[in-house]
Structure 1
Amino acid sequence: MDPLGAMRDRFVELDDVVAYLDGNSVGRPLRAAVERMERFLRDQWAGRLIRGWTDEWMRWPESLGDRIAAAALGAAAGQVVVADSTSVLLYKLARAAVDRAATEGGRRSIVLDTDNFPTDRYLLEGIAAERDLRLVWIDTDPAAGITVDQVAAAVDDDTALVVLSHVAYRSGWLADAAAITACAQAGGAMVLWDLSHSVGSVPVHLDSWGADLAVGCTYKYLNGGPGAPAFAYVAARHQPRLRQPVWGWMGHGDPFEMGPGYRPATGVRSMLSGTPPIVAMVPLQASLDLLEEVGIEAVRAKSVQLTTFALELADAWLSPLGVSVASPRDPGLRGGHITLRRTDFRSVTDRLWARGVVPDFRAPDGIRVGLAPLSTSFAEVLTGLAALRDEASS
């Protein structure tokens, strides 16, 4: 009865893994990605060499960005670009936003939360030190996540930027992005969403939210592969007024002019800096083919079924063993993964990996069960949670 069961055959078979429960860290490779890579190396790289840039490669950052926007982000064309890593793009967008806010309105504080992904926090700490800004911390519950009321209490007339994750990396909490965006904007601030744990798993509606900025990776639910390039969203209304700080030749209005002085490209292409990672974009094309075929709503429907099933097994098998659930029970407040906690779960994770059951450990005591709807089966969840029960009982 798995509505997307047939999609599993599109992925490369796993040799020594009996249950892969970490699709929210690194997604599995598609067979089509392997085929596309082989064709690219032979026909485009070897066959066209430098001519590939004028054939199509120069346009890939924007054309792939438009595909992600339509398939997974609820965004119109011309607002998403694929380039760099999530960290680099988050830095570019955050710096551009705070610089504009300081110039136009004198605002000098950034609102962020204590349990956001470490890179997000570290980058913002660095930007604050670099630009002499003030950080306003929201203390979030690691078993839950950010709320509208918390944001409303933190934003004031000095707030330049609010930076949050749509789905919390630890608990899977699904933030009310539309309401939080509206709340922050009503206070005069911009919002930068990190979509890394939601894109390709949870429907995102950036345009209808009235979103300002967003970033996200493509190697989790989008199956782009380790180190696959990230994406940046800049709402069309902001593009003429934001200038990112890493000025490189690919973000220039005419990259081959090679002249003095920097003149940024128009539109979202101005977020580029150096040469785009063309080879790393190839697997992403195959993944987008599949997502466009299935549709994000079908992916979300199965995601809710998978996480609900995992919670049922956890309640029946693991709660009696002293395991607690550190994720929302309400599927409307939950992304694509759940976190289970017990003090010895670091060593339990090591034993599970040795058995071919691969979840993710998150300090200090959490096993994160990441369920990718296109590649994860219900039988796989059953097998994996049964192994966790056995190891937790030993």
Structure 2
Amino acid sequence: MATDFTRTRAMFHLPDGVIYLDGNSLGPLPMAAAERVQSCIEGEWGEMLITAWNRAGWMNKPRALGDRIGRLIGAEPGSVVLGDTLSIKVYQALASALDLRPDRKVILSDTGNFPSDLYMAEGLTRTLGEGYALCTVAPEAVEDAITPDIAVLMLTEVDYRTGRKHDMKRLIEKAHAAGALVVWDLAHSAGAIEVDLAGADADFAVGCTYKYLNSGPGGPAFIYVAPRLAENVQPALSGWLGHDAPFAFDLDYRPGAGIERMRVGTPPVLQLAALEASLDIWDRVAMADIRARSIELSEAFIKGVEAACPALTLASPRDPLQRGSQVSFAHAQGYAIMQALIARGVIGDFRAPDILRFGFTPLYTTMEDVSGAVAILKEIMDNALWDRPEYKTRARVT
């Protein structure tokens, strides 16, 4: 049965008068989330106190919800776990991959990667010393840069600025042929496009849940380790909850079985409750339907903007199969234009140096949203409504 997007839209709180095109940065509030979190606070934390770790199943949530996310990214059962932040999960995956290739010391990434991922890689190479290095090339040059000296290829599948999409299966095949492992960041993929980690023979993947998966600000990250590697991975961040028997209180670390060893800190129980409410919506959804509707929405937006706003330049790939579920346009006054849009109820975001970024999230975005956003953007551009001092003052978050 086809996904009913009218029904899924009704499951989100969307403020009146707002066209929300920034779910690729922060998903909106699922209607059931507040009640679910309140129930967790009052009925579990309030009434069960510490016994809720067992009675309410708090300790098992990271694995249980990991499997539900796993369905959306083509992961094998028992190969995904939740917890901590995306940067921590990047560090974990990258350190583990390097440890599995002790005879190599080069991490390859691209200049379009999310800077935080590159920062984590740089920090890890400094910690390891002894010749470890991060090498970056242009996104389109990645495939040719995969050589036998590469230990790990670390990429974000969908570029956060432009939406440009890497060919996961092709690059994994090339990396494996060269003897390298691959770490994928799925921050702009999970819940946005079809992903098949098992089918692509992926090694490691990480991602966040507060974007397309709607777990709320600061929602926990997830990590995937291929089952063929899981028992050989030695976590660099050997946290208490990754221990084989946390409550044995051994002084020496002994890694847990499989993906359990990639747990680090205490699970964020309230945030997991919010995520659980969102995943109840995702359980009704087919990713093929999501992808098809996303392309319809983004194609209509591009056509509308290019006809109405010729001063804006498309910065995303024109071929919808080569981009994720976002569209970016470039303009020298991109920041001010975006602020003018937000002031008029169209919420996207800005990415330096000149990118206006718009996310298309079929669970709640409609064709009416697309046409309404285009009309408001046209009015702003035709009348230079962006050219006001208050729209040019940079806020801390853009």
Instruction: State TM-score, norm by structure 2.
Output: 0.92
C-alpha displacement of 1:294: 1.9
Equivalent residue for 1:190, pick from 181, 186, 191: 181
Equivalent residue for 1:272, pick from 251, 263, 266: 263
Aligned to 1:94: 94
Further displaced range: 180-189 or 244-253: 244-253
Contact preservation (8 Å) 1:167, 1:195 = yes
Secondary structure at 1:203 match in 2? coil
Distance between the aligned counterparts of 2:345 and 2:143, measured in 1?
45
Aligned to 1:65: 66
Equivalent residue for 1:109, pick from 106, 109, 116: 106
Distance between the aligned counterparts of 1:183 and 1:232, measured in 2?
23
Distance between the aligned counterparts of 1:345 and 1:73, measured in 2?
33
C-alpha displacement of 1:178: 0.6
Residue 326 (structure 1) aligned with residue 315 (structure 2): yes
Equivalent residue for 1:363, pick from 352, 355, 370: 352
Structure 2 residue runs of 5 or longer lacking an equivalent are 385-398
Secondary structure at 1:256 match in 2? helix
Aligned to 2:165: 174
Residue 350 (structure 1) aligned with residue 339 (structure 2): yes
- Where do 1:114-263 residues align within 5 Å? 114-132=111-129, 133-140=132-139, 146=140, 150-263=141-254
Secondary structure at 1:228 match in 2? coil
The one-letter code of the counterpart of 2:115 is P
Cα deviation 1:276-329 (Å, max 9, x = unaligned): 11111111111111111122111111111110111111121112xx21001111
The one-letter code of the counterpart of 1:125 is E
Number of equivalent positions: 379
Cα deviation 1:335-376 (Å, max 9, x = unaligned): 100001110111111122222211110111110011111011
Aligned to 2:378: 389
Cα deviation 1:147-205 (Å, max 9, x = unaligned): xxx33321222211000111111111121101111111110000000000010010110
Contact preservation (8 Å) 1:352, 1:358 = yes
The one-letter code of the counterpart of 2:88 is V
Contact preservation (8 Å) 1:336, 1:372 = yes
Aligned to 1:143: none
Distance between the aligned counterparts of 2:91 and 2:100, measured in 1?
14
Distance between the aligned counterparts of 1:27 and 1:121, measured in 2?
24
Distance between the aligned counterparts of 2:342 and 2:295, measured in 1?
25
C-alpha displacement of 1:91: 0.5
Cα deviation 1:56-110 (Å, max 9, x = unaligned): 111111111111102x1111111100011111100011011112212xxx10101
Contact preservation (8 Å) 1:28, 1:375 = no
Contact preservation (8 Å) 1:151, 1:183 = no
The one-letter code of the counterpart of 1:8 is R
C-alpha displacement of 1:259: 2.2
The one-letter code of the counterpart of 1:165 is T
The one-letter code of the counterpart of 2:224 is Y
The one-letter code of the counterpart of 1:130 is T
C-alpha displacement of 1:3: 5.4
Once superposed, which parts of structure 1, at least 4 consecutive aligned residues long, lie more than 4 Å away? none
Contact preservation (8 Å) 2:110, 2:142 = no
Contact preservation (8 Å) 1:307, 1:371 = yes
- Where do 1:73-92 residues align within 5 Å? 73-92=73-92
Name the Cα RMSD after superposition: 1.5
Secondary structure at 2:247 match in 1? coil
Contact preservation (8 Å) 2:122, 2:133 = no
Distance between the aligned counterparts of 2:269 and 2:315, measured in 1?
39
